[in-house]
Amino acid sequence: MSASSAKCEISLTVNGESKIVDAYPMERLLDVLRHQLGLTGAKEGCGEGECGSCSVLLDGVLVNSCLVPVLQAQGANITTIEGLAGKSDLNRLQQAMLECGGAQCGICTPGIILAASHLLSKQPHPTPAEIKEGLSGNLCRCTGYAQICEAIAEAARVEVAE
């Protein structure tokens, strides 16, 4: 095994907590999150960057963690679905997904919520077209997207009302 493929220590911040992992540089961030850090919210769907079920935020940018070598996360701030909710409460998006029936089998749901959260952080009052565009990297085989889009619109309405 060459030196470049040896394991190394990688420091990163995950959901506000500093972590050091011992990983191969090209190991997928998705695997490190799930297997080393026990954060199983990010799911593996396609493993090829097509479905968005593995989405996380890396320094505020929505990425497919199945395509990110963990070395790229050195020193970065990572937010997973586990970092979005409060300790006991669902956040407004999670609540809206529940109320609108936006989650069925649930495989896509963490990635959809992260994509929606990212969208609402940039555009608090998205139009239906902006919601569709915001979800363009996330596939759902179950819902037909209507309930998901409604949930995001509902979450935006709740935010305005609060």
Residue among 23 and 151 whose Cβ is closer to ligand FES: 151
Minimum gap (Å) between residue 13 Cβ and ligand FES: 21
Applying CB under 6 A, the residues found at the interface with ligand FES are 44-47, 49-54, 64, 66, 103-109, 140-143
Q: For ligand FES, which is the closer residue by CB, 67 or 85?
A: 67
What are residue 108's DSSP bridge partners? none
Q: How long, in residues, is the chain?
A: 162
* Least Cβ distance, residue 161 to ligand FES (angstroms): 27
In angstroms, the CA 104 to CA 81 distance is 17
Closest to ligand FES by CB, 52 or 126: 52
Strands (E), the chain: 8-14, 17-23, 55-58, 61-64, 77-79
CB 103, min distance to ligand FES, A: 5
Query: How far is Cα 73 from Cα 24, in angstroms, rounded to an integer?
Result: 12
